[in-house]
Structure 1
Protein backbone atom coordinates (compact mmCIF):
# COMPACT_ATOMS: atom_id res chain seq x y z
CA UNK A 1 0.00 0.00 0.00
CA UNK A 2 1.51 3.30 -1.07
CA UNK A 3 1.14 6.48 0.86
CA UNK A 4 -0.38 9.49 -0.87
CA UNK A 5 1.44 12.69 -1.54
CA UNK A 6 2.59 14.37 1.66
CA UNK A 7 1.44 17.83 2.55
CA UNK A 8 4.40 20.08 2.15
CA UNK A 9 5.06 23.68 2.96
CA UNK A 10 5.61 25.93 -0.01
CA UNK A 11 6.94 29.40 -0.26
CA UNK A 12 4.54 32.03 -1.54
CA UNK A 13 5.64 34.28 -4.36
CA UNK A 14 7.09 37.59 -3.32
CA UNK A 15 5.16 39.76 -5.78
CA UNK A 16 1.55 39.30 -6.75
CA UNK A 17 -0.10 41.45 -9.38
CA UNK A 18 -3.19 43.38 -8.33
CA UNK A 19 -5.38 41.75 -10.98
CA UNK A 20 -4.81 38.34 -9.34
CA UNK A 21 -5.85 39.70 -5.96
CA UNK A 22 -9.07 41.34 -7.12
CA UNK A 23 -10.44 38.23 -8.82
CA UNK A 24 -11.21 36.50 -5.55
CA UNK A 25 -14.38 34.64 -4.68
CA UNK A 26 -17.62 36.56 -4.65
CA UNK A 27 -20.53 36.19 -2.29
CA UNK A 28 -23.82 36.70 -4.12
CA UNK A 29 -25.74 37.42 -0.92
CA UNK A 30 -23.41 40.22 0.20
CA UNK A 31 -23.11 41.61 -3.34
CA UNK A 32 -26.91 41.85 -3.55
CA UNK A 33 -27.14 43.33 -0.07
CA UNK A 34 -24.61 46.02 -1.00
CA UNK A 35 -26.64 46.81 -4.11
CA UNK A 36 -29.76 47.15 -1.98
CA UNK A 37 -27.96 49.37 0.55
CA UNK A 38 -26.75 51.60 -2.28
CA UNK A 39 -30.29 51.89 -3.70
CA UNK A 40 -31.66 53.20 -0.40
CA UNK A 41 -28.60 55.46 0.28
CA UNK A 42 -27.94 53.56 3.51
CA UNK A 43 -24.53 55.16 4.08
CA UNK A 44 -25.77 58.71 3.46
CA UNK A 45 -28.75 58.36 5.79
CA UNK A 46 -26.59 56.87 8.52
CA UNK A 47 -23.95 59.57 8.22
CA UNK A 48 -26.60 62.24 8.75
CA UNK A 49 -28.06 60.38 11.73
CA UNK A 50 -24.71 59.83 13.50
CA UNK A 51 -23.20 63.26 12.87
CA UNK A 52 -23.87 64.54 16.42
CA UNK A 53 -22.00 61.56 17.89
CA UNK A 54 -18.79 61.94 15.87
CA UNK A 55 -16.08 64.45 16.72
CA UNK A 56 -14.69 66.68 14.02
CA UNK A 57 -11.08 66.36 15.21
CA UNK A 58 -8.84 63.60 16.50
CA UNK A 59 -8.56 59.99 15.42
CA UNK A 60 -10.40 59.12 12.22
CA UNK A 61 -13.60 57.26 13.00
CA UNK A 62 -15.03 54.18 11.41
CA UNK A 63 -17.75 55.24 8.96
CA UNK A 64 -21.16 54.09 10.22
CA UNK A 65 -21.91 52.20 7.00
CA UNK A 66 -18.87 49.99 7.50
CA UNK A 67 -19.62 49.53 11.20
CA UNK A 68 -23.17 48.36 10.54
CA UNK A 69 -22.08 46.11 7.67
CA UNK A 70 -19.73 44.41 10.13
CA UNK A 71 -22.57 44.07 12.64
CA UNK A 72 -24.74 42.55 9.88
CA UNK A 73 -21.97 40.06 9.10
CA UNK A 74 -21.90 39.05 12.75
CA UNK A 75 -25.65 38.55 12.69
CA UNK A 76 -25.82 36.67 9.38
CA UNK A 77 -22.86 34.42 10.22
CA UNK A 78 -23.81 33.89 13.88
CA UNK A 79 -20.68 35.49 15.30
CA UNK A 80 -21.37 36.97 18.71
CA UNK A 81 -18.05 38.62 19.56
CA UNK A 82 -16.51 41.70 18.01
CA UNK A 83 -13.15 39.92 17.90
CA UNK A 84 -14.78 37.15 15.91
CA UNK A 85 -16.45 39.59 13.52
CA UNK A 86 -13.21 41.52 12.98
CA UNK A 87 -11.24 38.31 12.40
CA UNK A 88 -13.84 36.95 9.94
CA UNK A 89 -13.91 40.20 7.96
CA UNK A 90 -10.11 40.35 7.78
CA UNK A 91 -9.89 36.68 6.79
CA UNK A 92 -12.40 36.82 3.92
CA UNK A 93 -11.75 38.76 0.73
CA UNK A 94 -15.43 38.63 -0.24
CA UNK A 95 -16.42 40.16 3.12
CA UNK A 96 -13.67 42.78 2.84
CA UNK A 97 -15.11 43.65 -0.59
CA UNK A 98 -18.58 43.92 1.00
CA UNK A 99 -17.10 46.42 3.48
CA UNK A 100 -15.46 48.40 0.68
CA UNK A 101 -11.85 47.33 1.27
CA UNK A 102 -9.58 46.40 -1.58
CA UNK A 103 -6.93 43.70 -1.80
CA UNK A 104 -4.16 44.23 0.69
CA UNK A 105 -6.16 46.63 2.87
CA UNK A 106 -6.83 45.63 6.47
CA UNK A 107 -10.39 45.73 7.73
CA UNK A 108 -11.18 47.40 11.08
CA UNK A 109 -10.07 45.59 14.21
CA UNK A 110 -12.22 44.67 17.21
CA UNK A 111 -11.20 47.71 19.27
CA UNK A 112 -12.44 50.03 16.53
CA UNK A 113 -15.76 48.16 16.52
CA UNK A 114 -15.98 48.50 20.32
CA UNK A 115 -15.25 52.24 20.27
CA UNK A 116 -17.87 52.80 17.59
CA UNK A 117 -20.47 50.73 19.44
CA UNK A 118 -19.85 52.74 22.62
CA UNK A 119 -20.16 56.01 20.71
CA UNK A 120 -23.51 55.26 19.07
CA UNK A 121 -26.71 55.09 21.14
CA UNK A 122 -29.24 52.29 20.78
CA UNK A 123 -31.55 54.58 18.78
CA UNK A 124 -28.98 54.73 15.95
CA UNK A 125 -28.70 50.93 15.96
CA UNK A 126 -32.46 50.65 15.80
CA UNK A 127 -32.58 53.20 12.96
CA UNK A 128 -30.01 51.21 10.93
CA UNK A 129 -31.87 47.94 11.40
CA UNK A 130 -35.20 49.56 10.51
CA UNK A 131 -33.63 50.94 7.30
CA UNK A 132 -32.44 47.55 6.17
CA UNK A 133 -35.62 45.72 7.21
CA UNK A 134 -37.79 48.24 5.36
CA UNK A 135 -35.60 47.96 2.25
CA UNK A 136 -35.76 44.16 2.26
CA UNK A 137 -39.52 44.27 2.81
CA UNK A 138 -39.98 46.78 -0.05
CA UNK A 139 -37.90 44.58 -2.38
CA UNK A 140 -39.58 41.30 -1.48
CA UNK A 141 -36.49 39.80 0.16
Structure 2
Protein backbone atom coordinates (compact mmCIF):
# COMPACT_ATOMS: atom_id res chain seq x y z
CA UNK A 1 0.00 0.00 0.00
CA UNK A 2 1.23 3.49 -0.85
CA UNK A 3 1.98 5.92 1.96
CA UNK A 4 -0.74 8.52 2.64
CA UNK A 5 1.90 11.17 1.89
CA UNK A 6 1.54 10.15 -1.77
CA UNK A 7 -2.03 11.48 -1.88
CA UNK A 8 -2.00 13.97 1.03
CA UNK A 9 1.11 16.02 0.22
CA UNK A 10 0.90 17.73 -3.13
CA UNK A 11 2.44 20.70 -4.94
CA UNK A 12 0.88 23.79 -6.46
CA UNK A 13 2.59 26.20 -8.84
CA UNK A 14 1.19 29.73 -8.58
CA UNK A 15 0.58 31.17 -12.05
CA UNK A 16 0.26 34.79 -13.13
CA UNK A 17 -3.49 34.31 -13.68
CA UNK A 18 -3.87 33.31 -10.01
CA UNK A 19 -2.76 36.76 -8.88
CA UNK A 20 -4.36 40.20 -8.71
CA UNK A 21 -3.00 43.52 -9.99
CA UNK A 22 -0.58 43.67 -7.05
CA UNK A 23 0.92 40.32 -8.04
CA UNK A 24 -0.53 38.56 -4.99
CA UNK A 25 -2.82 35.52 -5.05
CA UNK A 26 -6.41 36.66 -5.54
CA UNK A 27 -8.51 35.61 -2.54
CA UNK A 28 -10.98 33.37 -4.39
CA UNK A 29 -8.19 31.15 -5.71
CA UNK A 30 -7.56 29.54 -2.33
CA UNK A 31 -10.86 27.67 -2.14
CA UNK A 32 -10.51 26.56 -5.76
CA UNK A 33 -7.04 25.25 -4.95
CA UNK A 34 -8.42 23.41 -1.92
CA UNK A 35 -11.00 21.64 -4.04
CA UNK A 36 -8.53 20.87 -6.82
CA UNK A 37 -6.07 19.43 -4.29
CA UNK A 38 -8.84 17.18 -2.94
CA UNK A 39 -9.63 16.03 -6.48
CA UNK A 40 -5.96 15.29 -7.16
CA UNK A 41 -5.68 13.44 -3.86
CA UNK A 42 -8.61 11.18 -4.75
CA UNK A 43 -7.07 10.49 -8.15
CA UNK A 44 -3.67 9.67 -6.64
CA UNK A 45 -5.38 7.34 -4.19
CA UNK A 46 -7.03 5.56 -7.11
CA UNK A 47 -10.56 6.96 -7.17
CA UNK A 48 -11.77 7.88 -10.66
CA UNK A 49 -13.27 11.36 -10.94
CA UNK A 50 -16.40 9.99 -12.61
CA UNK A 51 -17.23 7.89 -9.57
CA UNK A 52 -17.43 11.03 -7.40
CA UNK A 53 -18.14 14.03 -9.62
CA UNK A 54 -21.03 14.43 -12.07
CA UNK A 55 -20.46 15.60 -15.61
CA UNK A 56 -17.21 13.78 -16.40
CA UNK A 57 -16.62 12.88 -20.04
CA UNK A 58 -17.75 9.39 -20.92
CA UNK A 59 -19.80 9.05 -17.77
CA UNK A 60 -22.77 6.72 -18.36
CA UNK A 61 -24.67 8.08 -15.36
CA UNK A 62 -24.03 10.44 -12.53
CA UNK A 63 -22.93 9.09 -9.15
CA UNK A 64 -25.78 8.00 -6.86
CA UNK A 65 -24.38 10.16 -4.05
CA UNK A 66 -23.60 13.85 -4.39
CA UNK A 67 -21.10 15.60 -2.11
CA UNK A 68 -22.07 19.28 -2.03
CA UNK A 69 -19.93 21.77 -0.15
CA UNK A 70 -21.85 22.91 2.93
CA UNK A 71 -19.14 25.00 4.59
CA UNK A 72 -15.84 26.53 3.60
CA UNK A 73 -13.35 28.94 5.08
CA UNK A 74 -10.04 30.48 4.12
CA UNK A 75 -7.25 32.03 6.16
CA UNK A 76 -4.47 34.02 4.55
CA UNK A 77 -1.26 34.12 6.57
CA UNK A 78 1.29 35.57 4.12
CA UNK A 79 1.16 36.94 0.56
CA UNK A 80 1.41 34.28 -2.14
CA UNK A 81 3.03 35.50 -5.36
CA UNK A 82 3.17 34.33 -8.93
CA UNK A 83 5.82 31.63 -9.51
CA UNK A 84 5.70 30.45 -5.88
CA UNK A 85 5.84 26.67 -5.68
CA UNK A 86 3.68 25.68 -2.73
CA UNK A 87 3.46 22.40 -0.88
CA UNK A 88 -0.14 21.48 -0.13
CA UNK A 89 -0.82 19.34 2.93
CA UNK A 90 -4.29 17.83 3.15
CA UNK A 91 -5.87 16.76 6.43
CA UNK A 92 -9.16 14.97 5.76
CA UNK A 93 -11.46 14.09 8.63
CA UNK A 94 -14.73 12.16 8.76
CA UNK A 95 -17.16 14.09 10.95
CA UNK A 96 -19.96 11.53 10.86
CA UNK A 97 -21.01 8.70 8.50
CA UNK A 98 -22.31 11.20 5.94
CA UNK A 99 -20.06 14.23 6.38
CA UNK A 100 -16.36 15.01 6.09
CA UNK A 101 -14.04 17.95 5.73
CA UNK A 102 -10.65 18.50 4.19
CA UNK A 103 -8.27 21.02 5.71
CA UNK A 104 -5.61 22.28 3.33
CA UNK A 105 -2.40 24.01 4.35
CA UNK A 106 -0.32 25.79 1.72
CA UNK A 107 3.38 26.00 2.60
CA UNK A 108 6.24 27.90 1.02
CA UNK A 109 9.31 26.14 2.36
CA UNK A 110 8.57 25.83 6.10
CA UNK A 111 6.15 28.77 6.26
CA UNK A 112 2.38 28.29 6.26
CA UNK A 113 1.10 30.80 3.70
CA UNK A 114 -2.62 30.01 3.75
CA UNK A 115 -5.13 27.50 5.09
CA UNK A 116 -8.49 26.41 3.78
CA UNK A 117 -11.28 24.12 4.84
CA UNK A 118 -14.01 22.57 2.72
CA UNK A 119 -16.80 20.49 4.32
CA UNK A 120 -18.92 18.08 2.28
CA UNK A 121 -22.21 16.40 3.07
CA UNK A 122 -23.37 13.19 1.37
CA UNK A 123 -26.84 13.26 -0.16
CA UNK A 124 -28.68 10.92 -2.52
CA UNK A 125 -28.52 12.49 -5.98
CA UNK A 126 -32.18 11.74 -6.66
CA UNK A 127 -33.95 12.46 -3.37
CA UNK A 128 -31.43 15.00 -1.98
CA UNK A 129 -31.76 13.26 1.40
CA UNK A 130 -28.72 12.78 3.63
CA UNK A 131 -26.98 9.44 3.32
CA UNK A 132 -23.72 7.66 4.06
CA UNK A 133 -20.56 8.63 2.22
CA UNK A 134 -19.71 6.64 -0.90
CA UNK A 135 -17.57 3.63 -0.04
CA UNK A 136 -14.60 4.87 -2.08
CA UNK A 137 -14.53 8.22 -0.26
CA UNK A 138 -14.99 6.47 3.08
CA UNK A 139 -11.99 4.24 2.31
CA UNK A 140 -9.93 7.29 1.28
CA UNK A 141 -10.78 8.95 4.60
CA UNK A 142 -9.89 5.80 6.54
CA UNK A 143 -6.59 5.34 4.70
CA UNK A 144 -5.76 9.03 5.17
CA UNK A 145 -6.14 8.68 8.93
CA UNK A 146 -3.84 5.65 9.24
CA UNK A 147 -1.10 6.30 11.75
CA UNK A 148 -2.80 9.36 13.18
CA UNK A 149 -4.01 9.56 16.74
CA UNK A 150 -7.47 11.05 17.08
CA UNK A 151 -9.24 12.15 20.23
CA UNK A 152 -12.24 10.21 21.50
Normalising by structure 1, we get a TM-score of: 0.29
Normalising by structure 2, we get a TM-score of: 0.28
Choose between structure 1 and 2: higher helix proportion.
Answer: 1
Choose between structure 1 and 2: higher strand proportion.
Answer: 2
